[in-house]
DNA sequence: TGCATATTCAACCATTCGGTTGACGATCCT
DNA sequence: AGGATCGTCAACCGAATGGTTGAATATGCA
C-alpha cells in the first residue's frame, strides 16, 4: 500500500470516488451510508471503495457487521507535492475550496436526481 | 478547454504522460523530441500529447512542419487546490520534488533501456 | 519537381473500467 | 433457529484505454 502516483491519480480521476472522499471529509461512514446518495448499486460503490483503499486514500475497518470507511488524506501527499513542483499554487484558499466542493457535490446530486 | 478534474486527474494517471510533463518543465519540445526517450511509437506519443492537450496541461503550436509542445502548469491549479482541501501538505519542498522527479525519469529511462 | 522529415489519421487489437445482477457469508435481533 | 441487514464475490457486458501498423497530409530542401 505505498500508493504510487498511478493508483492515486487514477483513483482521483473518477467523480464518484472524489465525491466519496468529500463525504468522508466530514466523518467516517459505513459502506451502506456512503452508497445512499448515489444512483448506483451497492456493489458498484463497494468496488469504488476497493479502488480508494488500494490507492491508500481510505481504510476500512469492520466493527460488527458494519464496515467503517475512514479518509486517509496522507495518501494524497506525494501526488500533491508532485503537482506543486509544476508551479506554486496559491496557499490554500479554503473559501475557494468550499465553493469548489459544493459545486462538485451539487453536480453529483443533480446527476442522481435526473434518474428519479 | 476548461479542463475539469476528471480530465486532469486521468491525464496525470499515466506515467508516460507524467514523464512528458516533467520533460516539458525544462523547455518546450517538438513532438519527435518528446517521443525520442520512449520505447513506443510516435503515434502513441502523439495520442498522449492529445490527451494532455485536452486536459489543458500543454498547448501545441505549429511552426513550420514542427509542432512545439509547451507546458501549461496552470491547468493543474484546480486539481491541486482540490487535493489541498484534504490536508495542508507541507509548503513545497523543492528538493524533495527534484529527487522525486529524477526518480520518475530514471524509471522511465530504465524501462526504455530494458528493450534495447 | 521530387524526396525526406514531421505529424496525424484510420483501423484494429487486447486489456481495463465502470456498471449490472444474483448468489453467498457474516452478523445482529427476536 | 430463523429472518433481516451488511457487504463482497463471481460472472457478465459495453465502452474506454493504451498500444500497434500502414496510409495520408504538410512542410522543408535540393
CA distance B109 to B116: 11
Per-residue pLDDT, B3: 63
Pick out chain A residues at pLDDT < 50: 92-95, 97, 107-116
Q: A59 burial class (0-12, 13-18, 19+ CB within 10 angstroms)?
A: middle
Per-residue pLDDT, A87: 83
**Orientation angle between helical segments B15-26 and B5-12, nearest 10 degrees:** 90
Q: Å from B19 to nearest chain A CA?
A: 11
Per-residue pLDDT, B14: 98
Per-residue pLDDT, B18: 98
Give yes or no for B1 touching A (CB within 8 A): no
Average pLDDT over residues B38-65: 98
A85:B79 CB<8 A:
no
Residue whose C-alpha is closest to residue A85's, from B13, B54, B26:
B26
Would the Cβ of B43 be found within 7 angstroms of any atom in strand D?
yes
pLDDT digits over B58-114, tens only? 999 999 999 999 999 999 999 999 998 998 665 544 445 455 545 554 544 444 433
Whose cell is 453529483? That residue is: A108
Residue whose C-alpha is closest to residue B68's, from B106, B24, B101:
B24
Q: Å from B99 to nearest chain A CA?
A: 11
Per-residue burial over A43-58, b = 16 or more CB atoms within 10 Å of its CB, e = otherwise:
eebeebbeebbebbbb
Would the Cβ of B50 be found within 7 angstroms of any atom in strand D?
no
B contacts of A78 (beta carbons < 8 Å): 100
Per-residue pLDDT, B87: 83
Give yes or no for B102 touching A (CB within 8 A): no
What's the longest Cα–Cα distance across chain B? 46
Per-residue pLDDT, B66: 98
Give yes or no for B18 touching A (CB within 8 A): yes
Closest partner CB to B85 (pick from A83, A84, A97): A97
Nucleotides of C under 7 A from a protein CB: 5-10, 17-22, 25-28
Per-residue pLDDT, A104: 52
Would the Cβ of A15 be found within 7 angstroms of any atom in strand D?
no
Count CB atoms within 10 A of the CB of residue A78.
18
Sign of CA dihedral A76, B9, A83, B45: positive
pLDDT digits over B26-36, tens only? 999 999 999 99
B81:A94 CB<8 A:
no
DSSP B82-115: HHHTT----S--HHHHHHHHHHHHHHHHHHHHTT
CA distance B16 to B84: 25
A96:B86 CB<8 A:
no
Amino acid at each position: 500500500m505505498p500508493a504510487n502516483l498511478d493508483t492515486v491519480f487514477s483513483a482521483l480521476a473518477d467523480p464518484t470516488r472524489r465525491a466519496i472522499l468529500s463525504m468522508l471529509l466530514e466523518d467516517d461512514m459505513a459502506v451502506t451510508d456512503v452508497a445512499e446518495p448515489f444512483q448506483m448499486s451497492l456493489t458498484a460503490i463497494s468496488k469504488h471503495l476497493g479502488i480508494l483503499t488500494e490507492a491508500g486514500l481510505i481504510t476500512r475497518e469492520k466493527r460488527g457487521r458494519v464496515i467503517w470507511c475512514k479518509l486517509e488524506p496522507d495518501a494524497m501527499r506525494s501526488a500533491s507535492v508532485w503537482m506543486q513542483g509544476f508551479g506554486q499554487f496559491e496557499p490554500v484558499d479554503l473559501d475557494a475550496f468550499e465553493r469548489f466542493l459544493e459545486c462538485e457535490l451539487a453536480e453529483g446530486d443533480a446527476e442522481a436526481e435526473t434518474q428519479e
